[in-house]
């Protein structure tokens, strides 16, 4: 039996375990990336490991998220990151050089390699045939130290593409269609692999748009084959030597196959407040738009922005809205400046923002109250834009331009002729925004500003857990709900005591007060708890407030790993209906829990308020059990655990 793409890469990197669905495996990580909003924690953790140098083939530290410098905090963190990178053998991509995923694809990605990044959209690298996964900063720190990455061998789903995209139908519409079919939890425990004759019509950057938003499916990663298009892209990047072909065997096996005929696809749009809330653009007409934002790691390639410029040429942005454009990288920014596309955007009245995440993470450009904002981004969770009651829609850059010109959500096919874009055969490659590590690391002094607080360390798990339910949530709670971002809160990412004041801030403003008064406690969640970002702050800050256990119907992958890494016990209802038998404020007890999980025996939670026992399950490996009992991965490794 032949191998699929995922199996080919995993088998070449397998450290322990059997490559069978559901088995615990560990794989070697070739490359890592971090970004500034998760990187400071990751490097504090790497420093705590006491190593002299990273042990990966390549590690890169990017600054792209916390770009507004409205106080000293972000600038201090940037200095810290630059000095740490220089000292420990890490490349440093300076602020302004671009969004981590886009720059990594352009300058560092290699087909067939593994990449672990402290950002959930790291799977963008799958566009170039990498096995690229998002993880918490601590897992990335461990990988930088040469440690393997542990996961359960996922199922592999094939998306079989046939046909060819029509005018005004884009790669974004393909992934929105996949989200419509599979939903935001359809990828949990799965790798999504693309194949079929339709793949040939997609460029690397189009593929990267698709693998990027595999994160919204909850998938471990998404992968495209590496073929002639990949070779062309790598040649353009003057990295032909890094090219390697990679394709699934003809008789490869898949756990599920989803077929999409590209000929039949139409422009799609995700309505508020979930990326899988997808409808045809033509059925969402007559919705007045207040803001349009084009860019983000999903849709800010040179091809995307040249199309945007071509569509805006000679037109004006509607007076009823504000339109921002943020190029994905310095390379793209320079190219559109040189070829005149930037002039067309400025002339049309677009507001140009530096290369970075910007409005995607609420780092500026929060829309007006109740605004409708149409974005070429990947997430539209409530409040993420920085405005609590904004209505965010996700669509292709083409659909964004149609809204920007007409003032309404508009099918882009109404714009008339689809412009033909002539992409340059050559592009200026200038890596001056990427600083190599120091030749004399001993001389580098780490620069720590007052924004960087010491890392809080959890205590080992007590034998019995007892406490109150601090909060009961519904399904699909995102890490943006748990630990909000935005221009005000993001600068506190290096200071856990300070950022902990904002846990669940926009869901329940009294949560923190309640947690403090009770000296900690428990959370009850629904399905897919913790979907979205990789931010370990969504586990670390609640841990700081004394959270000891989260009991849900199911978890999202990265958040589950982060809870374990920080010693918070993740449990699931044995019978999902029992969710209704526990309420906020109930007092719960887990007698002898630490001993019980060590034996793998059945566990139940005593609801002391309702005087009932609730059977629960914990699908943890023996290593994870040891980590939770130790009070987290740092304690576990200090105690000699691997
Ligand atoms: C996001 O898109 O939510 C982020 C901001 O990039 C996060 C990382 C973070 O919270 O710092 C992610 O996707 O992991
Ligand atoms: Fe940045 Fe948005 Fe991409 Fe996250 S999703 S890395 S915030 S551009």
Percent of the chain at pLDDT exceeding 70: 100
221: pLDDT confidence band, cut at 50, 70 and 90?
Answer: very high
Question: Is residue 73 located within the same domain as residue 194?
Answer: yes
| 3-class DSSP assignment, residue 478 | strand
Question: Other C-beta atoms within 10 Å of 297: how many?
Answer: 31
Q: Whose alpha carbon is nearest atom 2 of ligand 2?
A: 360
CB 300 within 8 A of CB 333: no
What is the distance of C-alpha 313 from the center of its chain?
Answer: 33
Question: Other C-beta atoms within 10 Å of 596: how many?
Answer: 16
Task: Provide φ and ψ at 262, rounded to 5°.
Answer: -65, -30
Q: Which atom of ligand 1 is nearest to the CA of 485?
A: 10
Q: Whose alpha carbon is nearest atom 5 of ligand 1?
A: 361
Model confidence over 428-463: pLDDT tens digits? 999 999 999 999 999 999 999 999 998 898 999 999
Cα(535) to ligand 2 centroid in Å equals 12
Is 425 domain-assigned?
no
CA angle centred on 325, ends 321 and 326, rounded to 5°: 145
| 3-class DSSP assignment, residue 274 | coil
- Domain of 551, CATH number, reads 3.20.19.10
Q: Which atom of ligand 2 is nearest to the CA of 35?
A: 6
Give the model's pLDDT for residue 1: 84
CB 624 within 8 A of CB 561: no
Nearest ligand to the CA atom of 361: 2
Where in the sequence is the domain holding 12, given as residue range(s)? 5-264
Half-sphere exposure of 172 (CA within 13 A, CB side): 33
Question: Is residue 276 located within the same domain as residue 372?
Answer: yes
Is 391 domain-assigned?
yes
Question: Is residue 379 located within the same domain as residue 484?
Answer: no
Task: Provide φ and ψ at 505, rounded to 5°.
Answer: -55, -45
User: Which of 376, 413, 414 is CA-nearest to residue 392?
Assistant: 376
Cα(385) to ligand 1 centroid in Å equals 13
The residue ranking higher by pLDDT, 619 or 332, is 332
Residue 294 has pLDDT above 80, yes or no: yes
CA angle centred on 599, ends 154 and 549, rounded to 5°: 70
Q: Which of 28-42, 358-372, 444-458 has the lowest mean pLDDT?
A: 444-458
User: Which of 306, 433, 331 is CA-nearest to residue 106?
Assistant: 331
3, β-bridge pairs: none
Total domains in the fold of the chain: 3
- Domain of 252, CATH number, reads 3.30.499.10
CB 50 within 8 A of CB 408: no
Question: Is residue 322 located within the same domain as residue 187?
Answer: no
Question: Is residue 241 located within the same domain as residue 349?
Answer: no
Give the model's pLDDT for residue 285: 73
Q: Tokens standing for 77?
A: 């963190």
Half-sphere exposure of 66 (CA within 13 A, CB side): 27
**Which residues does 440 contact at the CB level (< 8 Å), separation at least 6?**
none
Give the model's pLDDT for residue 455: 87
Q: Which atom of ligand 1 is nearest to the CA of 38?
A: 11
Question: Is residue 521 located within the same domain as residue 604?
Answer: yes
Question: Is residue 201 located within the same domain as residue 335?
Answer: no
d(CA 499, CA 483): 8
Question: Is residue 477 located within the same domain as residue 341?
Answer: no
Q: Cα separations (Å) of 155 from 14, 158, 357, 449?
A: 16, 10, 31, 44
Give the model's pLDDT for residue 509: 97
Among 206, 234, 264, give the residue marking a domain's end. 264
Question: Is residue 492 located within the same domain as residue 601?
Answer: yes
**Which residues does 12 contact at the CB level (< 8 Å), separation at least 6?**
112
Pocket around ligand 2: residues whose beta carbon is below 6 Å from it? 65, 99, 119, 121, 296-297, 357, 360-361, 378
Q: Whose alpha carbon is nearest atom 4 of ligand 1?
A: 533
Sign of CA pseudo-dihedral 550, 555, 561, 562: negative
| Pocket perturbation via mutation, ligand 1, pick of 68, 531, 535 by most ligand atoms within 8 A of CB | 535
Percent of the chain at pLDDT exceeding 90: 97
Give the model's pLDDT for residue 640: 80
Is 442 domain-assigned?
no
Enzyme catalytic residues: 64-65, 119, 379, 533, 535
Cα(336) to ligand 1 centroid in Å equals 27
Task: Provide φ and ψ at 226, rounded to 5°.
Answer: -105, 120
Is 304 domain-assigned?
yes
Is 453 domain-assigned?
no
d(CA 373, CA 186): 26
Task: Find the Cα–Cα–Cα–Cα dihedral 170, 173, 178, 179, rounded to 10°.
Answer: 140
Is 174 domain-assigned?
yes
**Which residues does 256 contact at the CB level (< 8 Å), separation at least 6?**
155, 157, 158
Residue 340 has pLDDT above 80, yes or no: yes
Question: Is residue 481 located within the same domain as residue 539?
Answer: yes
Is 459 domain-assigned?
no
Question: Is residue 67 located within the same domain as residue 106?
Answer: yes
Q: Is the peptide bond before 273 cis (omega within 30 degrees of 0)?
A: yes
Among 264, 294, 312, give the residue marking a domain's end. 264
Task: Provide φ and ψ at 635, rounded to 5°.
Answer: -60, -40
Question: Is residue 176 located within the same domain as residue 274?
Answer: no
641: pLDDT confidence band, cut at 50, 70 and 90?
Answer: confident
Give the model's pLDDT for residue 637: 87
């Amino acid at each position: 039996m032949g191998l699929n793409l995922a199996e080919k890469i995993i088998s070449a990197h397998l450290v322990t375990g059997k490559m069978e669905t559901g088995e615990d495996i560990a794989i070697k990580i070739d490359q890592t990336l971090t970004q500034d909003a998760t990187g400071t924690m990751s490097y504090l953790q790497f420093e705590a490991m006491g190593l002299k140098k990273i042990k990966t083939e390549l590690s890169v530290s990017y600054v792209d998220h916390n770009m507004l410098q409205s106080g000293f905090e972000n600038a201090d963190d940037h200095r810290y990151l630059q000095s740490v990178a220089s000292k420990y053998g890490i490349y440093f991509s300076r602020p302004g050089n671009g969004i981590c995923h886009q720059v990594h694809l352009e300058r560092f990605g290699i087909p067939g390699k593994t990449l672990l990044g402290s950002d959930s959209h790291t799977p963008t690298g799958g566009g170039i045939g990498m096995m690229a996964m998002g993880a918490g900063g601590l897992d990335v720190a461990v990988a930088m130290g040469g440690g393997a990455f542990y996961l359960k061998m996922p199922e592999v789903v094939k998306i079989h593409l046939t046909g060819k995209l029509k005018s005004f139908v884009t790669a974004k519409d393909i992934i929105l269609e996949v989200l419509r079919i599979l939903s935001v939890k359809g990828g949990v425990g799965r790798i999504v692999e693309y194949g079929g004759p339709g793949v040939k019509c997609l460029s690397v950057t189009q593929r990267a748009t698709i693998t990027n938003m595999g994160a919204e499916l909850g998938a471990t990663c998404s992968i495209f084959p590496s073929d002639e298009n990949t070779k062309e892209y790598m040649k353009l990047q003057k990295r032909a030597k890094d090219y390697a072909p990679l394709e699934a065997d003809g008789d490869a096996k898949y756990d599920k196959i989803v077929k999409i005929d590209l000929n039949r696809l139409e422009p799609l749009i995700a309505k508020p407040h979930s990326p899988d809330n997808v409808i045809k653009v033509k059925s969402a007409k007559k919705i007045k738009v207040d803001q349009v934002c084009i860019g983000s790691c999903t849709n800010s390639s040179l091809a995307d922005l040249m199309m945007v410029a071509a569509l805006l040429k000679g037109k004006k942005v509607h007076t009823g809205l504000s339109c921002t454009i943020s190029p994905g990288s310095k390379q793209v920014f320079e190219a559109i400046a040189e070829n005149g596309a930037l002039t067309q955007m400025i002339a049309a009245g677009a507001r140009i923002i530096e290369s970075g995440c910007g409005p995607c993470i609420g780092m500026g450009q929060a829309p007006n109250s109740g605004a409708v904002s149409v974005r070429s981004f990947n997430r539209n969770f409530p409040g993420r834009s920085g405005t609590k009651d904004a209505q965010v829609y996700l669509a292709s850059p083409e659909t964004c331009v149609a809204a920007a010109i007409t003032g309404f959500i508009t099918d882009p096919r109404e714009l008339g002729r689809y412009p033909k874009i002539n992409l340059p055969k050559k592009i200026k490659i200038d890596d001056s925004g990427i600083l190599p590590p120091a030749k004399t690391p001993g001389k580098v002094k780490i620069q720590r500003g007052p924004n960087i607080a010491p890392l809080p360390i959890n205590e080992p798990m007590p034998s019995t857990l007892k406490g109150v339910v601090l909060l009961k949530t519904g399904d699909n709670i995102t890490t943006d709900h748990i630990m909000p971002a935005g221009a005000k809160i993001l600068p506190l990412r290096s200071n856990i005591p300070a950022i902990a004041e904002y846990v669940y801030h926009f869901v329940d403003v009294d949560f923190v007060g309640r947690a403090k008064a009770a000296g900690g406690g428990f959370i009850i969640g629904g399905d897919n708890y913790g979907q979205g970002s990789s931010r370990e702050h969504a586990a670390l800050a609640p841990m700081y407030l004394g959270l000891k256990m989260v009991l849900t119907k199911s978890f999202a992958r990265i958040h589950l790993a982060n809870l374990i890494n920080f010693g918070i016990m993740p449990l699931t209802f044995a019978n999902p209906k029992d969710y209704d038998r526990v309420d906020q404020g109930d007092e719960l007890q887990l007698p002898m829990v630490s001993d019980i999980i060590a034996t793998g025996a059945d566990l139940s939670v005593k609801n002391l308020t309702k005087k009932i026992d609730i059977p629960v399950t914990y699908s943890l490996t023996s290593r994870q059990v040891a980590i939770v009992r130790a009070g987290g991965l740092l304690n576990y490794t200090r105690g000699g655990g691997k």
